[in-house]
Structure 1
């Protein structure tokens, strides 16, 4: 299982953004990450300063969103959708996207469900409950 350090994650996103801006060749994962960075212009300036990004702190009380966590979650969800794991997530995402009118907004809803599922697993010191995760997504997809 891939378990990058904080520094490796930050370097991945800052280097990906540098390559995207300079026309460098991107790996398939970097291309996916670059697409999400383009979708989030609010992070681009920060990702452009590799030195500052490597040392930045994102404490909840400061009210700043951690762009590396946010983008990593987009990548994780994109991978889940590509392999339909947990089974049914792709269909739920499609229903959410149709309801919200945006695939990006649908990913943000799924991100909230993923965050809640991970928080619960950490709190209970258990593996993430994929059934509960999918149920959360399904509830959100079926709301009117």
Structure 2
């Protein structure tokens, strides 16, 4: 079943939402090509999906750490366990098993649950940190303008 992006999947952090949307696109590509029996294309999508997802996880984890999110280590552990599980599927696929349908089901279910629950938990901390950074930059700009004005 194709994943349709709905508002309840938005975190409110634009860069994260765009990354999640790209992961959804990969999952949907996997679904659309699964029946074609094109193992090379399925393998390419799986590899691209895994690479992109690992990059996304690293980015998300860095935002959490910078924000001082108190559960960043457990969140990272969830990412690691998931990546290990997907890696096992990829190994099976490379050995000739047809796991594309299984992995699609796992990815679909896990991603939606992860966004709605695990990711939703860190949003406030990351947004607060981002707003603080933006506020500080605006104050610095303002200070620079005022100093120039009074010279």
Q: TM-score, normalised by structure 1?
A: 0.30
Higher RCO (CA-CA < 8 Å; seq separation 6+): 2
Specify which structure has the higher proportion of helix. Answer: 2
